[in-house]
Amino acid sequence: MWEDSGYAYAKASWIIGKSFLGKKVSMLSNIHTLNELDRLIFPDGHRELPGRELLNDLEARIRERSKRQITSVVNSYTHTPKLLSCMLKENTGFNFYQELIDSLSQLENEDRQGAARLLADEISLGNCAWAIRLRSFYNKDEKEIKKYILDLKLLGNIHQRRASLAAEANASLDFSLDVREDWHGWRWEKFLNAQDGQQHWNADPRHFQNAASQYLYRLAFHSFHSSSMSVSAIYCFIKLKQYEEDLLTSVAEGFSLGMNSAGVFNLLEAAV
């Protein structure tokens, strides 16, 4: 497994180095049209197509390239770890995450730690984002909200107690959406919008979601580099490529809607 992971990591590093992530995100701020974006992403394969047709075609090529690159790295393994083969499947909600959690138990501790932390934080933050959004935008009560929360359990190693990844979201249901002090000491408090002087505060679901996405991206980037030669590094590589795919398709959609470069660049905050 170590030799396979080493080869896979080298291949993944080469791909990440050419991806629109980290410092290379700034390259996207220098373009102004969908056609320019196409030429930047696919310098040798851009297409001269009209408006909406170009958007659909470009998004399809972005997704296909991401899938092809991910598959090429995963196929570096003689025997593909289940964690990675699961990531090649379509995300179908609870069953998808449960399968990922179950697959972690098949890995040695050094192979699973980085992926376990990233997965646990992603599920926990996703639950919290749903809870805040459903309360803020739809006035859902606790009973209704808990239908959307994934009550999954995951541990990083054999010495940890299996804790529910719904705990933080469930705790947040007791906090007032317009009283900042209620949230003091909550695990994910730092991702909430700050109190703005004397203005009345309300929890902002969009701010929380963006801050959480930014954190998960940075965690994946750090784990990819710090856990090289492990299955976790390749799991993080897949997450990074998925972030890039979402980023590029969001930028493409922004240009198609007539946004200027400054407006589109605001879409890049989660990946900077």
The whole-angstrom separation of Cα 229 and Cα 6 is: 5
What are the tokens at 258?
């007539």
Closest CA to 124 of 195, 186, 202: 186
Contact 29, 253 (CB under 8 A): no
69-95 pLDDT, tens digit per residue, is: 999 999 999 999 999 999 998 776 889
The domain in which residue 251 lies consists of 2-271
**Mean pLDDT lowest among 38-47, 114-123, 127-136:** 38-47
Per the rule left: phi > 0, alpha: psi between -120 and 50, beta: everything else, 149 is beta
- H helix or E strand, kind and range, residue 153: strand 153-154
* pTM recorded for the entire structure: 0.92
What are the tokens at 27?
């390259």
Instruction: Please name the amino acid found at residue 18.
Output: K
Contact 97, 75 (CB under 8 A): no
* Band (159; pLDDT cuts 50, 70, 90): very low
Q: What is the pLDDT of residue 257?
A: 87
38-69 pLDDT, tens digit per residue, is: 999 999 988 888 878 999 999 999 999 999 99
105-117 pLDDT, tens digit per residue, is: 999 988 999 999 9
Closest CA to 152 of 112, 239, 94, 86: 94
Closest CA to 83 of 93, 98, 64: 98
Contact 79, 199 (CB under 8 A): no
Burial code (b: 16+ CB inside 10 Å, e: under 16) for 104-121 equals beebeeebbbbbbbbbbb
* Band (25; pLDDT cuts 50, 70, 90): confident
What is the SS3 assignment for 140?
A: coil
Dihedral over Cα of 56, 57, 60, 61: its sign? negative
Could you give the number of structural domains in the chain?
1
Counting every residue written for the chain, the total comes to 272
- The residue with tokens 């851009």 is 46
Closest CA to 244 of 9, 12, 88, 22: 22
